[in-house]
Amino acid sequence: MTRATASSVDVSKTTPGKRIVVTGVAGFIGSHITRTLLDQGHHVVGIDHCQGHPTEITERNLRPNMDSELFTLVRRDLADIPLEPQFEGADTVFHVAARPGVRSSWGAEFPSYTTSNIVATHLLMEAAARSGVRRVVVSSSSSVYGGAPDGAVTEGDLPAPLSPYGVTKLAAEQLALAHARCTPSGPTVVALRYFTVYGPRQRGDMLISKLIESALSGRPFTVLGDGKQRRDFTFVADIVRANLMAMDADVEAEVLNIGTGVTTSVLDVANLVGDIVGRPVPLEFAQAQAGEARETHADVSRAKDVIGYQPTIDLRTGLTRQVESASRSRATIMSATSSGRQAR
């Protein structure tokens, strides 16, 4: 059986046999980073409270890694356990865990964003310093920029998040960088600002997952606003490569954009998904929501200079892989449902 993992493309090679911690291992991006590290012969301790998704999605995300003897899962909340025992002997921590999602960060759920994104990052950096971890690679976000000016944003542009989520991501990356600058004996830090990540196992609340589900099911997709908002869509394998490149880069405290430099409108990506699936995505329109940037667009020249990163997967290729993976999952669920009905 072939697995749709990020490692199916050429990724940066690392020296095998290291002990590495990945937080958020039961999530979309963490599960891909982990699979690649295991494929490269590293021992991975994965930490996740496994509450970010419904149980069946958590299990699906964990499955590709659970069969490896090199993998250990710690099902705990980062903000609620002593992290030193998990970090003992670890070379690198990939800090991927966070409470994601722009819309739900407004209102009553905000305290869980501050706990998972800010408090957990502070505790993680303190424990990493006490445990002798060499490098922490932090998953940050293009949401720190807010409404982009015309053209691509660089790491030197002033951050101005448009949502409480974006504020917590900015706080998290800056906390980690402050620890790196002010604790000389502690780990060095690379914070990677991802631009709209997609690919197999993408979160169900994200645009491309929803578009594919609409094309496959025929249920309408609700475009928020006019659909002309543009995103820099980055395939998850390129995110994995950037993480591996950041692992050994010769830097102390660095923040880098990880995107493609190419933007596509929501309407154009809906058309592309329809074209790949072979059925158009039925669209309906509703009012735009607070906190959504009009455009996200990465200038990735600093990532190229510092870690040698360049995107390798274009949108049509990446979408085709996600459509294939979603179609397989759907077929599995439908056959399980129909054999359940027959058994009754």
Ligand X SMILES: NC(=O)c1ccc[n+]([C@@H]2O[C@H](COP(=O)([O-])OP(=O)(O)OC[C@H]3O[C@@H](n4cnc5c(N)ncnc54)[C@H](O)[C@@H]3O)[C@@H](O)[C@H]2O)c1
| Minimum distance from residue 27 beta carbon to ligand X (Å) | 2
Does 48 help bind ligand X (rule: CB under 6 A)? yes
Does 28 help bind ligand X (rule: CB under 6 A)? yes
Does 169 help bind ligand X (rule: CB under 6 A)? yes
Does 78 help bind ligand X (rule: CB under 6 A)? yes
The residue ranges of DSSP E strands in 88-241, in sequence order, are 92-95, 135-141, 188-194, 197-198, 221-224, 230-231, 234-235
Residue 119 has which token pair?
A: 């408090």
Alpha helix segments (H runs only) across 146-265: 164-182, 207-217, 236-247
Radius of gyration of the chain (CA): 19
Is residue 195 within 8 A of residue 257, CB to CB? The reply is yes
Among 37, 127, 197, 306, binds ligand X (CB under 6 A): 197
Q: What DSSP string describes 74-87?
A: E-S-GGGS--HHHH
| Separation CA 321–CA 17 (nearest Å) | 30
Q: Which of 165, 194, 198, 309 is catalytic?
A: 165
Q: Which of 233, 236, 232, 214 is nearest to 223 (CA)?
A: 214
Nearer to ligand X, 104 or 183 (CB): 104
Q: How many residues bind ligand X (CB under 6 A)?
A: 29
In one-letter notation, the amino acid at residue 226 is D
Output the residue with the shortest Cβ distance to ligand X.
27
Residue 113 a catalytic site member = no
Among 114, 131, 139, 257, binds ligand X (CB under 6 A): 139
Among 34, 105, 121, 196, binds ligand X (CB under 6 A): 196
| Minimum distance from residue 166 beta carbon to ligand X (Å) | 10
Q: Which of 192, 171, 177, 290 is nearest to 241 (CA)?
A: 192
Among 6, 22, 24, 188, binds ligand X (CB under 6 A): 24
**Binding residues for ligand X restricted to 93-122, rule: CB under 6 A:** 96-100, 116, 120
| Minimum distance from residue 343 beta carbon to ligand X (Å) | 32
Q: Which residues bind ligand X (CB under 6 A)?
A: 24, 26-30, 47-52, 77-79, 96-100, 116, 120, 139, 141, 169, 194, 196-197, 203
Catalytic residues: 165
